[in-house]
Structure 1
Amino acid sequence: MDFKNFKVPFEVNPQYAKKVAYFSMEFAIEQVLKIYSGGLGFLAGSHMRSAYNLKQDLIGIGILWKFGYYDQARNHDQTLQPTWTKKMYSFLEDTGIKFRIEIHSAPVWVKVWYLDPEIFHTAPMFFLSTDVPENDHVSKTICHKLYDANEATKLAQYILLGKGGAQLLDEMNIEREVYHLNEAHGLPAAFHLLKKYNGNLNKVKEKLVFTTHTPEEAGNEKHNLRLCHDMSYFSGLGMDEVKRIEGSDDDRFNHSLCALKMAREANGVSRLHGDVSRTMWSKYPGICDITSVTNAQEFKYWADQPLYKAKDENDEKAFDDRKKHLKKKLFKIVADQTGNLFDPDIFTIVWARRFAGYKRADLLLHDKSRFYKLLNHPKYPIQMIWAGKPYPMDYSAISTFNSLVEESKNNKHLAVLTGYELSLSKSLKQGSDLWLNNPRVPREASGTSGMTAAMNGSINLSTDDGWIPEFAKHGENSFVVPKCDYEKMSVYEQDNYDMNKLYEILENEILPAYYDQRDQWRKIQYNSMDDVKDQFNSDRMADEYYKLLYDRQ
């Protein structure tokens, strides 16, 4: 294929003719392509699949991570061991394109790989790599590990994505009317454009839209301004001029704030997150409008079709048999990893997502006597599975993971699984009865794992955060902890309140329905599957991005 003057290799739907480039640090497209860590990647992967479904004129730009995020292995005592293995992808096409960008005042060679839309039914995608013979060792390592812990390497990765991605479009002579930054990682693209347009910020704003995923200001990345400048982040723009654009009185550079100043439109990733973001950033003058486009996942990829068929035909026996079959498939993975033989007739709770403190993986264990009373209840027993990858340098999250491993040893009703990627994620959603989601409100911008759980007949039990307020009807399609005035509570009080409410809902509503009122439980499953199918399918989301962000001027 000739990549000069590249055109999307399918007939574009006229509704989606605006030419878009979508920049993301990670994409979870298929199990085999390990260039993602968690929710941001799952979201971006579904977006790329829906762009293909709707035949949008959109291309994805990412980084080809040589070692991925990491491979989750175990030490001899079952605790977490991160390992890094070189990845090989024969299905990616070498574009033959190589060019140089400036990083840390030195030229760095960038090589470009292409993912054809027909391989995984995605938008056309381009992946950048610095792991080429022409580069010195340090430059080669820029694309080695997703979210590298070293600050300078991390900034170099952002420069590779943003500046490298923007230059790739120039190299291929691809005119894109919209540059969509999925999080602020790709912001150096905006400074590349600013240089290209001779400092005309309005021309940059015409092109740039920005999706923010972080619902509290402290969570948005800030780095030393001098370091960013010395790393060539700003494409030659002086620090005083950068500060004039960004507009904070801090000696650090706030990536998200600057993105909000350089974009013409931004969005949060749920209605609640849109409200939180507008409030959070309103103290800064000159930011762009912040709307909301609620995250979603691709129905076609995630939903179990035989389960939906049984539901649509109201074949209760076929539905129950299919769900039990999916549980048994998951329990083979549990047995293989842990040696525990789970029972498909026992109610199974799964907590699976990125391990981070505010997500509270071990919340139910804050009251161990109550937890074990549930676990071994003579009438309403439970089984529980945890899975997820802590960030390799987040020692608190790793400690939580390891403490759950210790807790699960010698207990046939508990399991902690490793390797939480697309394949295991799908198995957990298909094989669980209940999808537990208990972040501290309002820390979860959206959260999408519960959507794909609902697409597989797994019922959500959640605190009232992220996408949940737009979906949940308590007792009808899900179960929700009643929101209270969390701002007046200490973290300890909030954790206690949420934990007690979770237990009350489990003990008094969920378990009696599952064990004693199967028709009622099945009805909740049906409602959940119906309610998630269209509103939280990423085809809706990809359509909304065009209508609410790309096509607006």
Structure 2
Amino acid sequence: MDFNNFQMPFGITPNYSKKVAYFSMEFAIDQALKIYSGGLGFLAGSHMRSAYNLKQDLVGIGILWKFGYYDQARNHDQTLQPTWTRKMYSFLQDTGIKFQIEIHSAPVWVKVYYLDPEIFHTAPMFFLSTDVPENDHISKTICHRLYDANESTKIAQYILLGKGGAKLLHVMNFERDVYHLNEAHGLPAAFYLLKKFGGDLSKVKEKLVFTTHTPEEAGNEKHNIFMCHDMSYFSGLTIDEVKTIEGVEDDRFNHSLCALRMARVANGVSQLHGEVSRLMWSKYPGICEIKAITNAQEFKYWSDKPLYSAKDEDDKTLFDFRKKHLKKRLFKIVADQTGNLFDENVFTIVWARRFAGYKRADLLLHDKSRFERLLNNPKYPVQIIWAGKPYPMDYSAISTFNTLVEEGKYYKNMAVLTGYELSLSKLLKQGSDLWLNNPRVPREASGTSGMTAAMNGSVNLSTDDGWIPEFVKNGINGFVVPQADYNVLSVYDQDQYDLENLYNVLENEIIPTYYDHPDQWRKIQQTAMEDVKLDFNSDRMADEYYKQIYDDLR
């Protein structure tokens, strides 16, 4: 293949002929390709698979992380130990392309690898690496660890993704109509284009679209503007020119705000997140329109086909048998990691996602006596599993993880698992009866893990945040905690309110239904499986991006 004159390797569906480049720091494509950390990557991976399904004229651009995010190991006392192991990928193709970009006023070599669409059934994908002999040691480390804790390394990573990805398209003579930034990490692509277009911001806006995933302003990254300038983030623009574009006078460069002022259109990742984002950013002049396209996950990849077949054939015995088989498969992992033998006939709750403060992994433990009653109830036995990767430098989240590990030593029906990546995520969704999600409202932009749980007959119990208001019909296809006026409650009071309601729903509705009314429980499972199948399949999402974001209908 001639990568210097790259052509799409498959025929394009006419409705999807707008030429798109999709920039993301992470992609969860397959367990074998460890270039992701969590939900942003899971979302991007499903998007790439759906772009392949629909034969869209879209390519993915990311970074080949030499050590991935990190490997989740354990210390001798079972607590969390982050480790970094070099990853090897024989299935990636060396394009032979090498070029230089400026980072920190010095030339840095970039090498490019290609993922053929037929390997994992994705859009064509290109991954950038600076780990080449021509670079000095510091430059080599830019692509070593996803979301490196060092601030200058992290900014260099954004430059590699954005500027490196934009230059790659130029080197390949592969013109794109749309540059889609999945989060603001790839924003240096906009400044590369601005330089290319002689400073004409209107031409950049014609091409740039932006997806924001962060529903509170404090969570959007800001860095010292002088540091970004010294790092060559702005492709030669002066600080005054950047401030004019960004529209803020202080010296903290707000990546998301600048993206909203340089893009033609942006979107939140659920209908609620769209509303929150429009309200949050409305105080700033000159930002683009913020639409909403609800995240989704690829049905083909995530759903359990035999479970759906049993549902569609209305074979209750086969459906229940399949679900128990999936639980047994998960429980082998539980036994292997923790020494606890779980029972497939026992109601099993799973909380599994990135460990972060607002997601409140340990919320149920805030009432220890009630937690003990839940796990020691002889009439309605319960098993509970936690899994997820805290950011390796987020010591508060790691402490929460380790607290759960310590607590688990007192219960044979409680487990905390390591290695929460695509493979374990799939097993947890297949093997759980209840998918627990309890973020502080409205901190969760979307929270897609519950979608793939529903695709595997796992019922959602959630606070009313992210995608949940669009999906859950309480008691019919899932369960949702009643909303309070979260604007007036303190964090402590909100936690107490949600905790009380979570336990009430669990003890009085969910668990008795599971044991005393199995036909009703199965009906809830199957209704969720049907409701999630189309509306939250990423083929719908990828189609909406073309119709609402990429195709300029103005």
Q: Provide TM-score, normalisation by structure 2.
A: 1.00
| SS class of match (1:487) | coil
Which residue identity lines up with residue 382 of structure 1 in the other structure? V
Q: Distance in 1 between matches of 2:157 and 2:378?
A: 54
> Does 2:96 match 1:96?
yes
> Does 2:488 match 1:496?
no
Post-superposition shift, 1:409? 1.1
Post-superposition shift, 1:322? 0.2
Residue equivalent to 1:47: 47
Residue equivalent to 1:126: 126
Post-superposition shift, 1:552? 1.8
Residue equivalent to 1:445: 445
Residue equivalent to 1:526: 526
Q: Distance in 2 between matches of 1:304 and 1:250?
A: 51
Deviations along 1:194-226, one digit per CA (max 9) or x if unpaired, are 000000000000000000000000000000000
Residue equivalent to 1:8: 8
Pairs aligned (count): 553
| SS class of match (1:350) | strand
Residue equivalent to 1:196: 196
Residue equivalent to 1:371: 371
Structure 2 counterparts to residues 312-461 of structure 1, below 5 A: 312-461=312-461
Post-superposition shift, 1:249? 2.7
Deviations along 1:41-92, one digit per CA (max 9) or x if unpaired, are 0000000000000000000000000000000000000000000000000000
Q: Distance in 2 between matches of 1:233 and 1:54?
A: 35
Residue equivalent to 1:27: 27
Q: Distance in 2 between matches of 1:525 and 1:80?
A: 34
Deviations along 1:213-261, one digit per CA (max 9) or x if unpaired, are 0000000000000000000000000000000000113211000000000
Q: Distance in 2 between matches of 1:391 and 1:377?
A: 34
Q: Distance in 2 between matches of 1:471 and 1:380?
A: 28
Q: Distance in 1 between matches of 2:511 and 2:5?
A: 59
CA RMSD of aligned residues (A): 0.4
Residue equivalent to 1:144: 144
Which residue identity lines up with residue 357 of structure 2 in the other structure? G
Q: Distance in 1 between matches of 2:448 and 2:150?
A: 29
Which residue identity lines up with residue 470 of structure 1 in the other structure? E
Residue equivalent to 2:254: 254
Post-superposition shift, 1:529? 0.1
Post-superposition shift, 1:131? 0.0
> Does 2:543 match 1:540?
no
Deviations along 1:130-169, one digit per CA (max 9) or x if unpaired, are 0000000000000000000000000000000000000000
Give ranges in structure 1 of 5+ residues lacking alignment. Answer: none
| SS class of match (2:535) | coil
Post-superposition shift, 1:410? 3.8
Give ranges in structure 2 of 5+ residues lacking alignment. Answer: none
Q: Distance in 2 between matches of 1:272 and 1:513?
A: 30
Q: Distance in 2 between matches of 1:372 and 1:316?
A: 33
Which residue identity lines up with residue 9 of structure 2 in the other structure? P
Post-superposition shift, 1:5? 1.9
Post-superposition shift, 1:378? 1.5
Post-superposition shift, 1:4? 1.6
Structure 2 counterparts to residues 272-283 of structure 1, below 5 A: 272-283=272-283
| SS class of match (1:233) | coil
Q: Distance in 1 between matches of 2:100 and 2:502?
A: 54
Q: Distance in 2 between matches of 1:133 and 1:378?
A: 63
Which residue identity lines up with residue 250 of structure 2 in the other structure? D
Which residue identity lines up with residue 301 of structure 2 in the other structure? Y
| SS class of match (1:486) | coil
> Does 2:298 match 1:298?
yes
| SS class of match (2:3) | coil
| SS class of match (1:107) | strand
> Does 2:279 match 1:289?
no
| SS class of match (2:279) | helix
Which residue identity lines up with residue 77 of structure 2 in the other structure? D
Post-superposition shift, 1:513? 0.3
Post-superposition shift, 1:174? 0.5
Q: Distance in 1 between matches of 2:69 and 2:514?
A: 38
Which residue identity lines up with residue 314 of structure 2 in the other structure? N
Q: Distance in 2 between matches of 1:411 and 1:476?
A: 32
Q: Provide TM-score, normalisation by structure 1.
A: 1.00
Residue equivalent to 2:308: 308
Residue range with higher mean Cα deviation, 1-10 or 107-116: 1-10
| SS class of match (2:4) | coil
Q: Distance in 1 between matches of 2:366 and 2:258?
A: 40
Q: Distance in 2 between matches of 1:12 and 1:379?
A: 58
Q: Distance in 2 between matches of 1:237 and 1:225?
A: 12
Which residue identity lines up with residue 270 of structure 2 in the other structure? S
Which residue identity lines up with residue 142 of structure 2 in the other structure? I
Residue equivalent to 1:487: 487
| SS class of match (1:203) | helix
Q: Distance in 1 between matches of 2:410 and 2:510?
A: 27
**Sequence identity of aligned pairs in percent?**
82
